[in-house]
A and B are shown apart, each in its own frame.
Chain A
Amino acid sequence: MLVKPYAAPHLTSRFWPVVMRNLLVWKKLAGPSVLGNIAEPLITLVAFGYGVGSLIGTVADMPYVQYLASGSVAASCALAATFEGLYSAYSRMAVQKTWDSILNAPVALDDIVFAEMLWAAIKALFSCTAILIVIFVLGISRAPSMLLALPVLGLAGVTFASLALVFNALAKGYDFFTYYFTLVITPMTFLSGVYFPIAQMPDWLQLVAQVLPLKAAVDLIRPLVLGRIPADPLLPLAILTAYACTGYYLALVLTRRRFFG
């Protein structure tokens, strides 16, 4: 075979123009994108946070709006990176043939996959930053440690982008991604303590939740957004890193097989 599918990633600085290409497209469409990034969490936090929050009162010893807002930051990160790594990357790879035209230049597939992963993480950071600004402006939290959440969100973005690119490499069409959203992302969101604590769940489900990457992201990001230091950061960091590395490698292997198989 032309490229050994299981070889270690071979990266060069040529991945960077590919990231810049995606950024240039994003800048052209930035208006509606930024508006959506700000309006959506603003509406959700006001409606659910204050609306439902006034019925619930406190959750896990904090006002519900704080619980919801800090969880939403992590969930949005996962959603934004996933969406970019599935639908947008698939458009470029299979529909527009952007990857094919890049491969005719001196840029390798490994560079492209890395660039797509990095770009999806960057885009996720854009939308998380917008939510953090909404949280700051509404006064839900004004903790300086919110800034520390950004690198963690970057890592989570890399994790969910890598996992999405695994499914991108396997996809035969956009419809395939519905499975991933319905069977993976949506249940994971409810099992990760984004909207409500998982303590009410059956024990076995709580055990499952312990190894979910979004649960790990929430465990790190919620305290940082609300001005606390995560109690036990090493395990969730290790979980995110493990998913990121495994996901990225698997995505690379499967994409190589798709292109050169």
Chain B
Amino acid sequence: MPEPLLRVSHLTKKYGDAVVVDDLSFAIAPGECLGVIGPNGAGKTTTIRICLGLTGADGGTVEAFGMAMPEHVREAKKRIGVVTQFDSLDPDFSCVENLRVYGSYFGLPRATIAERVPRLLDFAALQSKASARPGELSGGMKRRLSLGRALINDPDLLLLDEPTTGLDPQARHLMWERLQNLLQQGKAILLTTHFMDEAERLCDRLLVLDHGKKIAEGGPRELIAEHLESDVVEVYGDGAAAAGNHHGALAERVETSGETVFFYLREPKRLLDALASDHSIRYLHRPANLEDLFLKLTGRQIRDDS
């Protein structure tokens, strides 16, 4: 593995008695997309803030581009682009001014900024909105402008905290396309997300966090193969609970969530045959996915500690 752009070792952060990051270690190689998934309150945003020197750690080390953080945070930030969970665009500035002014914070020469701004507007698909203010933009446009702004310093590493939360499917797909484009350009990305399809699609490697602890790490397909049966049959409807009791023995594992029963299994044929004759239920047979993995590892209960 080449020298990582970011190396986090045994990171720990406490707020009072609550441990929000617990002995966390990971690294990001150049050109790699690392997904960080976990329920609300798992420590994703705190970890990003520590990496940026915005929150102090109680233990462990962070190295960015081989430099110790937070001592060299200013040097490191020249090579990092950040998209935060909530938009922090300047409401008084047009799209062009937002990009231009943000470039000035990096001390970039005017000529460099002038050359990059049209390219970034193009990248963000906002050419026609160059002089519009953020208040006139849709949610997807704002997020793309935030992404464009994070690219003004041509960073090697992008830290993206839930970049697609709140976007409609069209806007999300456009965002994914842009992120894929950046990965092709060789940029490394750390991405936190609640969308498992997003993580599966974009990330080379995933980190599953819960209560600040790393509970799994690996490629999306490897993780699924390692932790789950290959197939899932979801059963809905009035007869679902009865079917769960009845056919439970045909699956390796059965889970009930509300009105839906999930059968996890490797040989689905016998169960499918049995279900086909039962007209009181509806069912869906599909391969196991990242969402199944996520729910298996972090549980189905709602987290209110976000």
- Residue of B54, B77, B89, B91 touching A106 (CB-CB under 8 A): B77
B77 touches A2 (CB 8 A): no
CA–CA, A3 and B56, complex, Å: 8
A17 interface hit (Cβ, 8 Å): yes
Taking CB atoms, residues of chain A closer than 8 Å to B74 are: 106, 108
Residues 68-123 of B contacting A (Cβ, < 8 Å): 70, 73-75, 77-78, 80, 82, 84, 86, 88-93, 97, 101-102, 104-107
A96 touches B91 (CB 8 A): yes
CA–CA, A105 and B79, complex, Å: 9
- Residue of A21, A25, A103 touching B104 (CB-CB under 8 A): A21
B92 touches A106 (CB 8 A): no
A120 interface hit (Cβ, 8 Å): no
B55 interface hit (Cβ, 8 Å): yes
Interface residues on A, range: 20 to 34
Interface centre among A2, A28, A96, A106 (most CB of B within 10 A): A106
Interface centre among B70, B77, B92, B97 (most CB of A within 10 A): B92
What mask results when residues 140 to 159 of chain A are scored 1 for a CB within 8 Å of chain B, else 0? Answer: 00000000000000000000
A228 interface hit (Cβ, 8 Å): no
A98 touches B105 (CB 8 A): no
B105 touches A24 (CB 8 A): no
What mask results when residues 142 to 156 of chain B are scored 1 for a CB within 8 Å of chain A, else 0? Answer: 000000011001000
CA–CA, A107 and B153, complex, Å: 13
- Residue of B53, B78, B149 touching A2 (CB-CB under 8 A): B53
A2-B53, A24-B101, A260-B55 as given contacts; A100 in contact with B106, CB under 8 Å: no
Taking CB atoms, residues of chain B closer than 8 Å to A20 are: 101, 104
- Residue of B80, B88, B97 touching A101 (CB-CB under 8 A): B88
Chain B interface secondary structure, helix, strand, loop or mixed? loop
A104 touches B84 (CB 8 A): yes
Q: Which residue of chain A has the shortest Cβ distance to B55 in the bound complex?
A: A2
Interface residues on B, range: 20 to 34
A105 touches B70 (CB 8 A): no
Taking CB atoms, residues of chain B closer than 8 Å to A100 are: 84, 88
What mask results when residues 10 to 23 of chain A are scored 1 for a CB within 8 Å of chain B, else 0? Answer: 00011001101100
Closest CB-CB distance, B54 to chain A, in whole Å? 6
A258 interface hit (Cβ, 8 Å): no
Taking CB atoms, residues of chain B closer than 8 Å to A3 are: 56
Closest CB-CB distance, B76 to chain A, in whole Å? 8
CA–CA, A103 and B93, complex, Å: 18
A1-B56, A24-B101, A106-B106 as given contacts; A96 in contact with B88, CB under 8 Å: yes
Interface centre among B82, B101, B105 (most CB of A within 10 A): B105
Taking CB atoms, residues of chain A closer than 8 Å to B55 are: 2, 260
- Residue of B53, B77, B91, B97 touching A105 (CB-CB under 8 A): B77
Taking CB atoms, residues of chain B closer than 8 Å to A259 are: 54
B56 touches A107 (CB 8 A): no
Closest CB-CB distance, A149 to chain B, in whole Å? 31
Taking CB atoms, residues of chain A closer than 8 Å to B104 are: 17, 20-21
Q: Which residue of chain A has the shortest Cβ distance to B53 in the bound complex?
A: A2
Could you show 25 A-B contacts with beta carbons less than 8 Å apart? A2-B55, A2-B56, A17-B101, A17-B104, A20-B101, A20-B104, A21-B104, A24-B93, A24-B101, A25-B92, A29-B92, A101-B84, A104-B52, A104-B77, A104-B80, A104-B82, A105-B77, A105-B102, A105-B106, A106-B75, A106-B105, A106-B107, A107-B105, A108-B74, A259-B54
**Chain B interface (Cβ < 8 Å from any Cβ of A):** 52-56, 70, 73-75, 77-78, 80, 82, 84, 86, 88-93, 97, 101-102, 104-107, 149-150, 153
Given A98-B88, A100-B84, 17 new contacts (CB under 8 A): A1-B56, A2-B53, A2-B54, A2-B70, A3-B56, A17-B101, A18-B105, A21-B101, A24-B97, A28-B92, A100-B88, A104-B80, A104-B82, A104-B84, A105-B153, A106-B105, A259-B54
